[in-house]
Amino acid sequence: MGLLNDAGVWLAGKLEAVAGVTVTYTRFADGATIAPDIWVGRSGVGADPGQLRYHQWGHRDYVLTASTLTVSGSVVEPGIGDRIAETINGVAHIFEVQSDEAGDHWRWSDPARTMYRLHVKRVS
């Protein structure tokens, strides 16, 4: 079990090197900006057919090493309203940490609890 756990932590450390993207992370709570090790975990579209409306919206997950989300030396949890600026194909986008349909805005992404998985939606 210890060996598998160690392997999971090692693998998580390698993900940033092979799949990482460059972003600026701005905390809603205090405006602090961070440049964490981060990569895109998932991107997709959801839909909600209502009585008169048919809405689609995008959703995206970012995965980051928890220890890189630090403010004044302390590791912090992601908060609703935190924003991530990423340039995709030369176009600047801003994504915001928001609740998903299950009500979570983040969850642990690995059994060892070394990585955050953030649920975001594009806001501009």
Q: Look at residues 1, 4, 14 and name the one whose alpha carbon lies nearest to residue 115.
A: 14
The minimum distance between CB 29 and another protein, in angstroms, equals 9
Nearer to another protein, 73 or 103 (CB): 103
- Which one, 18 or 47, has the nearer CB to another protein? 47
Q: What is the DSSP letter of 67?
A: G
**Smallest distance from another protein to CB 28, Å:** 5
Query: Please, what is the minimum distance in Å from the beta carbon of residue 36 to another protein?
Result: 18
How is residue 3 written in tokens?
């060996």
Work out how close the CB of 46 gets to another protein at its nearest, in angstroms, rounded to a whole number: 8
- Which residue from 85, 32, 35 is spatially nearest to 65, judged by alpha carbons? 35
Task: Give the separation between CA 79 and CA 96, rounded to whole angstroms.
Answer: 10
- Residues in contact with another protein by CB under 8 A are 28, 43-48, 50-60, 80-83, 93, 96, 98-101, 103, 121-124
State the Cα–Cα distance between residues 60 and 32, nearest whole angstrom.
Answer: 22
Choose between 37 and 96: whose C-beta lies nearer to another protein. 96
